[in-house]
Amino acid sequence: MTKEAFHQDILQGIPANIPPRKEFDSSLNHAPKRKDILSPDEKKLALRNALRYFPKEQHKALIEDFLWELETYGRIYMHRFRPDYEMFARPIEEYPGKSQQAKAIMLMIQNNLDHAVAQHPHELITYGGNGAVFQNWIQYRLTMKYLAEMTDEQTLVMYSGHPMGLFPSHSEAPRVVVTNGMMIPNYSKPDDWEKFNALGVTQYGQMTAGSYMYIGPQGIVHGTTITVLNAARKMDVKGEGIAGKLFVTAGLGGMSGAQPKAANIAGCVSVTAEVNEKAVHTRHSQGWVDEVISDLDQLVNRVRIAKEQKEVVSIAYLGNVVDVWEKFDQENIYIDLGSDQSSLHNPWAGGYYPAGISFEEANKMMAEAPDRFKVLVQETLRRHANAINKHTAKGTYFFDYGNAFLLEASRAGADVMAANGIDFRYPSYIQDILGPMCFDFGFGPFRWVCASGNPEDLQRTDEIALAVMEQIKSVSPAEIQQQMADNIQWIKGAQQNKLVVGSQARILYADAEGRMKIAEAFNKAIKEGKIGPVILGRDHHDVSGTDSPYRETSNIYDGSKFTADMAIQNVIGDSFRGATWVSIHNGGGVGWGEVINGGFGMLLDGSDAADRRLKMMLHWDVNNGIARRSWARNEGAIFAIQRAMEVEPRLKITLPNLVDDNLLNDTFQ
């Protein structure tokens, strides 16, 4: 398609004439049929809601099709309106528009829907089974049209995928404000999502899906590498190193697909079970996993050899993870590290597959016999936990990967509670690793996208970031030396590890100082014409972005982990300190109603205004969370916030006074 035709297609928004129905493309991975939850009256309401995007005279022609979609897929995706042009992040100058910032957002939206990037691209799902960019294709079309028309004196307001419209604002305001899945708290149960999503009034935005900041599995490879590396350091009390150690886990989906690559970078043997053949094929053909085995005996033999020979190899097991845990127990295969990344934030709609039935049978059952499906999921969870317990009794270090595994297993009655009956018997990766080692010091998943689409720009930004990190490391305190070293090693190997899928993007864990200095150096290079514009962002899964009691804030022990002030403050603060777009979501990672998370995107264009904004916003964006973590008495955060106050005299933070344990114990005697 020519550039002109692409522009025309975007600028027409909703086509004047109804396009023909589209063939179902079975070569793509599709979302499972969603629960048929609406009453006949509610189905009428869903149709009324869908048809309000179209002129009255088209309603008769569309209503049958939309009802068919609702009954066939459980949702109205408006498939026939899917554009015919290829979906991918184009270089920024190829987008139509009056605002460079809006064009950057268009690029990021298209990246989230790229077939190589998105999990269910035709259902507008980027990752996590239900992480939606939009609810339907008309919302996509309208949003792109608004972005192509808007100026820097307007802000586009997004209500859960629906573009409410353009409102007058000013050049320093965000160009887009996104909310996803914001519910009145009492209406935030899983079935509320099913119902209100089917009605077309809300969506599950996950974290970086509905906020246009997903960069493919690379984003997660890095976090996973850091996690596996530090988990291995933690359990390696004898100092033997990670070579020949075995890591067992599940999931080769959107984020989970990064596990084998991360295990390779960390240098161990890994087995990742995955029930979906298409997901296995995708990751294997992309080179993210080395070998595929679908027979358990063969798997046992292969793993024995790999362990003995201390190979660095990643193996995908095509089948249910529970079978692996049980088989390895029977065969006495010692598992050093264990985790799980099935999508248990979404247990009843395709996030977790029961053992003993085929993938196809399970997909059928979850739509046609949801109660039976739930029973099987819970039975499998109990088996899963039992098998893990047998391994941990032999010495395996198991951690919850923030996918709500322990939460759902406990709800299924599995034996996963600690002796006090309140905590889980296994830590989450945040409690043990990312929280105390990274987030408390401000280290989190900073990322950038080269808007030119030029791989050479990415290489230059890698070099710039490396130089900045090395300079900072040379003068940084002992407390953050390990983090600096891991991240320097990461950025050095980034080009060689060929991590790019979709846009020319890079992730790097950095603290406030690192993020600000790297961004400043990028902006300078853009000004000097050495690189094109750069889009900054981060995962919501960060120091300040997310309140989630069983994940990001699971290492907050002052009782405030069930509050969401930090995430809300964060997005409000980012919005008036210069973010190009901001987003705040309910759900994401651990499930609807279980988390509030927010994030930002920022276009660097080499201007002085960008220089001012990046310093102001990134400083707040990290230090907000450190201040809260410090107030919760987290040791690393108290250290980090005091350091931040020394550097920036305008920063004045309320510090906690620590109470003597003896005083408390004596008082309660």
Ligand X SMILES: NC(=O)c1ccc[n+]([C@@H]2O[C@H](COP(=O)([O-])OP(=O)(O)OC[C@H]3O[C@@H](n4cnc5c(N)ncnc54)[C@H](O)[C@@H]3O)[C@@H](O)[C@H]2O)c1
Candidates 299-307, 350-358, 474-482, 596-604; binding stretch for ligand X (CB under 6 A): 350-358
Among 589, 599, 606, 625, binds ligand X (CB under 6 A): 589
Closest separation between CB of residue 223 and ligand X, Å? 5
Task: Supply 100's token pair.
Answer: 């460079």
Q: Tell me the C-alpha distance between 343 and 223, whole Å.
A: 17
> Closer to ligand X at the Cβ: 253 or 606?
253
Candidates 11-19, 51-59, 250-258, 472-480; binding stretch for ligand X (CB under 6 A): 250-258
Candidates 67-75, 139-147, 349-357, 414-422; binding stretch for ligand X (CB under 6 A): 349-357
Q: Pairing relation of β-strands 397-398 and 337-338? A: parallel
Asked if residue 342 binds ligand X (CB under 6 A), the reply is yes
Asked if residue 428 binds ligand X (CB under 6 A), the reply is no
Q: Tell me the C-alpha distance between 570 and 619, whole Å.
A: 11
Q: Which residues of 116-145 are buried (b: 16+ CB within 10 A; e: fewer)?
A: ebbbbbbbbbbbbbbbbbbbbbbbbbbbbb
Write down the H helix ranges in 29-136. Answer: 40-51, 59-73, 100-113
Q: Tell me the C-alpha distance between 79 and 134, whole Å.
A: 12
Asked if residue 402 binds ligand X (CB under 6 A), the reply is yes
Asked if residue 253 binds ligand X (CB under 6 A), the reply is yes
Asked if residue 214 binds ligand X (CB under 6 A), the reply is no
Closest separation between CB of residue 71 and ligand X, Å? 24
CB within 8 A of 225, min separation 6: which ones? 262, 265, 266, 490
Q: Is 360:420 a contact under the CB 8 Å cutoff?
A: no
For 448, the enclosing helix (H) or strand (E) is strand 444-450
Q: Pairing relation of β-strands 162-168 and 291-293? A: unpaired
Q: Tell me the C-alpha distance between 593 and 407, whole Å.
A: 13
Task: Supply 121's token pair.
Answer: 């691209």
Candidates 52-60, 103-111, 397-405, 512-520; binding stretch for ligand X (CB under 6 A): 397-405
Among 169, 341, 396, 597, binds ligand X (CB under 6 A): 341
> Closer to ligand X at the Cβ: 54 or 398?
398
> Closer to ligand X at the Cβ: 350 or 578?
350
Closest separation between CB of residue 428 and ligand X, Å? 9
Residue identified by tokens 């936990």 is 385
Among 112, 143, 230, 256, binds ligand X (CB under 6 A): 256
Among 228, 250, 449, 638, binds ligand X (CB under 6 A): 250
Asked if residue 220 binds ligand X (CB under 6 A), the reply is yes
> Closer to ligand X at the Cβ: 38 or 433?
433
Query: Shortest CA distance to 133 belongs to which of 188, 180, 165, 91?
Result: 180
Query: Shortest CA distance to 347 belongs to which of 375, 325, 324?
Result: 375
Asked if residue 209 binds ligand X (CB under 6 A), the reply is no
Among 320, 396, 630, 634, binds ligand X (CB under 6 A): 320
Asked if residue 276 binds ligand X (CB under 6 A), the reply is yes
Asked if residue 401 binds ligand X (CB under 6 A), the reply is yes
CA distances from 402 to 109, 187, 275, 424, 552 (A): 26, 23, 20, 13, 8
Candidates 3-11, 51-59, 142-150, 272-280; binding stretch for ligand X (CB under 6 A): 272-280
| Opening angle at CA 396, ends 342 and 561, nearest 5 | 55
Asked if residue 321 binds ligand X (CB under 6 A), the reply is yes
x/- letters, 124..153, toward ligand X (CB under 6 A)? ---xxx------------------------
Among 76, 215, 273, 480, binds ligand X (CB under 6 A): 273
Return the number of other C-beta atoms located less than 10 Å from residue 3's C-beta.
12
Q: Tell me the C-alpha distance between 648 and 261, whole Å.
A: 39
> Closer to ligand X at the Cβ: 121 or 128?
128
Among 135, 179, 188, 343, binds ligand X (CB under 6 A): 343
Closest separation between CB of residue 423 and ligand X, Å? 19
For ligand X, which residue has the nearest CB?
253
Q: Is 33:349 a contact under the CB 8 Å cutoff?
A: no
Candidates 175-183, 219-227, 305-313, 461-469; binding stretch for ligand X (CB under 6 A): 219-227
Task: Supply 123's token pair.
Answer: 């259902």
What single DSSP character describes residue 335? Answer: P
Asked if residue 325 binds ligand X (CB under 6 A), the reply is no
- Torsion angle of C-alpha atoms 120, 125, 129, 131, degrees rounded to 10: 170
Q: Pairing relation of β-strands 131-132 and 125-127? A: antiparallel
CA 412 to chain centre: 25
Closest separation between CB of residue 183 and ligand X, Å? 19
Asked if residue 592 binds ligand X (CB under 6 A), the reply is no
CA distances from 516 to 300, 511, 520 (A): 48, 9, 6
Asked if residue 436 binds ligand X (CB under 6 A), the reply is no
Among 251, 427, 532, 598, binds ligand X (CB under 6 A): 251
SS3 536: strand
> Closer to ligand X at the Cβ: 89 or 207?
207
x/- letters, 107..126, toward ligand X (CB under 6 A)? ------------x-------
Total residues contacting ligand X by CB under 6 A comes to 34
The residues in 31-90 that bind ligand X, with binding defined as CB under 6 A, are none
Among 109, 255, 449, 582, binds ligand X (CB under 6 A): 255
CB within 8 A of 156, min separation 6: which ones? 102, 143, 146, 147, 150, 163, 165, 166, 175, 176, 177
Asked if residue 439 binds ligand X (CB under 6 A), the reply is no
Asked if residue 632 binds ligand X (CB under 6 A), the reply is no
Task: Supply 56's token pair.
Answer: 């009255």
Closest separation between CB of residue 157 and ligand X, Å? 27
Return the number of other C-beta atoms located less than 10 Å from residue 113's C-beta.
26
> Closer to ligand X at the Cβ: 171 or 298?
298
Asked if residue 246 binds ligand X (CB under 6 A), the reply is no
Quote helix, strand, coil % in the chain, to nearest 5: 45, 15, 40
β-partners of residue 152 are none
Asked if residue 270 binds ligand X (CB under 6 A), the reply is no
Q: Is 119:254 a contact under the CB 8 Å cutoff?
A: yes
Among 123, 149, 274, 542, binds ligand X (CB under 6 A): 274
Asked if residue 587 binds ligand X (CB under 6 A), the reply is no
Name the residues that contact ligand X, by CB under 6 A.
Answer: 119, 127-129, 220, 223-224, 250-256, 258, 273-276, 279, 320-321, 341-345, 351-353, 401-403, 589
